[in-house]
Amino acid sequence: MKKKARRYTILDDDLVLFVQEGQNCVQQLDMQLNEHVDEPTPRPCQQAPACCSGCGIVGHTIRNCPSK
């Protein structure tokens, strides 16, 4: 009876990674990535519209205020 050949890769001097182990690691990483993708992404901060510091009306600044 012959021993079944197993494919493997030598990563370092003493570290051996079998193909099945590598595939399992990749599947676990994919599952973790999918969990993070399902989470809502934070929205970027939006700048407040221009507000006049003289009269307080939104839409223009003190430089071009009609009541100046």
Domain extents in the chain: 8-64
When comparing pLDDT for 61 and 5, which is higher? 61
pLDDT of residue 12: 66
Rounded Cα gap, residues 14 and 8, in angstroms: 13
Please write the tens of the pLDDT for every residue from 1-15.
566 666 666 666 666
pTM for the whole thing?
0.34
Please write the tens of the pLDDT for every residue from 1-58.
566 666 666 666 666 667 888 888 888 888 887 776 666 677 888 888 888 998 989 9
